[in-house]
Amino acid sequence: MEQEVIYKASAKELRVLLLEPIRNEARAELRAKFNDKLIDVETVAKIHGVHPHTVRAYAKSGDLIHQDRNEKEEYKFKLGDVLEFDFRELRRQLKNHKL
C-alpha cells in the first residue's frame, strides 16, 4: 500500500530555494533538508507550472534527474532536485540548440 506524505516548508524556505541567490552553504543546507523527500510527476508539474507530460518527457530524455520508477512504472523525483530545476532555462537551451 502506497502512502502519501506531505511535508511542510515555510514560504521563506521555498523562496530561498527558488528565487533568491544565496551562498552555496545555505543552498546546500536547504537542499539537504528536502533531498530525501520523493514526489511524483503531478507534484513536479504543479511546482513548476508545467504539464505532467513535460515532466515525463524531460525525465525520459535524461534532462530531469529521477529516481528509479516504482512498481507502477511512475517516475519519482527528489524534492531537492526539483526545487533547483529550471524548466524555462532548459526550454531556452533546447530551443537554441535546435537553431
Statement: residue 33 has pLDDT above 70: yes
CA distances to 5, 34, 40, 47, 84 from 95, rounded to whole Å, are 36, 31, 26, 22, 20
Statement: residue 25 has pLDDT above 90: no
- What is d(CA 3, CA 61) in angstroms, rounded to the nearest whole number? 28
Instruction: Report all structural domains of the chain as residue ranges with CATH numbers, in order of start.
Output: 36-98 (1.10.1660.10)
Task: Give 77-95 pLDDT, tens digit per residue.
Answer: 988 888 778 877 877 877 7
Task: Give 7-16 pLDDT, tens digit per residue.
Answer: 677 777 776 6
Query: Is residue 24 very low, low, confident or very high in pLDDT (cuts 50, 70, 90)?
Result: low
